Amino acid sequence: MKEIRFDGRVAIVTGAGQGIGRMYALELARRGAKVVVNDLGASRDGAGADTSAADKVVDEIVAAGGGAVANYDSVATMAGGENIVKTAVDTYGKVDILINNAGILRDKSFMKMTEEEWDLVIGVHLKGGFCVTQPAVKVMKENNYGRVIFTASTSGLYGNFGQTNYGAAKMGLVGIMNTLKLEVAKFDIKINTIAPTAWSRMTSDLFPPEFEQKMNPQFNEPMVLYLCSEENTACGNIYAMGAGWYGRTAIVSGDGVCLGDAQRKISVEEIRDNFDKISDMENKREHGSGLGIFEYMGPLLS
């Protein structure tokens, strides 16, 4: 069996000072990549900063014979994102892999959520996805090669009490992927989104104690490294995972129903009378872009 290697590749992992991101950084380096270990060293709610988080992971990689450099910028500003990418280019000459992983939580039920709690979470996850990915993809386009991962969450895909800010940010990343994959389609840049589940400081008070071993963050790493490898050709997909389970999640549309003739007014009663057909998902389909929805309207538009 041919081993998947990353020799000659340069990877950026944001929020790699601990938790799931640390696992990516260690294994990428073990398999030959040079790694930029980005971490602001923030607390779970995003407060504070501590350079030792990134430093420790770099020390671990270097002690094991790998190559890594630390970066302490916040992903939440364009200046930070540009400097993270600059660290990779200045130290190793390019960027081949970007794993957008940094994250914080400010959980609160929607009706109690403050503007600050909203902005902070959107800033790190959603804006952070923009701020690091834009300068990284600029370099990837020049080299006609790139692998980008966005980190979403089942909280965004399906919902989770107290996480409207987090869920919105995470689904926003799916929105970035859906369009960015079209904009870079002519380059060998593959962009995918993952929804991990793991025991970390983010989840340790949510899961029962026996999950600490079973939900080890390590289980997310092989899937993400595969998606970041040269062998991977998948692009624009969402993969959920945890504890050794891996599966694809997708946004799909049902066949729906064409009413009228694109001329006459459709009544509310017609919607009511066809609501079961409109809601039916038996022939669900995915679409490569928003244009896919025109397939359904075909009979009305021709």
> Does residue 167 interact with ligand NAI by CB under 6 A?
no
**Alpha-carbon distance 281 to 251, whole Å?**
12
**Alpha-carbon distance 217 to 207, whole Å?**
13
| Interface with ligand NAI (CB under 6 A), residue from 118, 197, 227, 236 | 197
> Which tokens sit at 268?
């509310």
| Residues 191 and 181 sit within 8 Å (Cβ to Cβ) | yes
| Interface with ligand NAI (CB under 6 A), residue from 11, 29, 53, 148 | 53
> Which tokens sit at 94?
């390019």
Q: Which of 24, 145, 166, 239 is catalytic?
A: 166
Per-residue x/- mask for ligand NAI, residues 280 to 299, rule CB under 6 A?
A: --------------------
> Does residue 46 interact with ligand NAI by CB under 6 A?
yes
> Does residue 124 interact with ligand NAI by CB under 6 A?
yes
Q: What is the residue whose two structure tokens read 């929804």?
A: 195
> What contacts 164, CB < 8 A, 6 or more positions away?
110, 113
Of the two residues 107 and 145, which places its CB atom closer to ligand NAI in the complex? 107
Give the interface segment with ligand NAI, choosing from 87-95, 136-144, 196-204, 231-239 (CB under 6 A).
Answer: 196-204
> Which tokens sit at 117?
């709690």
> Does residue 196 interact with ligand NAI by CB under 6 A?
yes
Element (H, E) at 35: strand 34-38
Closest CA to 178 of 150, 206, 136: 150
226 tagged catalytic: no
Instruction: Summarize as ranges the residues that interact with ligand NAI (CB under 6 A).
Output: 14-15, 17-21, 38-42, 44, 46, 53, 74-76, 101-104, 124, 151, 153, 196-198, 200-203, 217
Catalytic residues, which ones?
Answer: 166
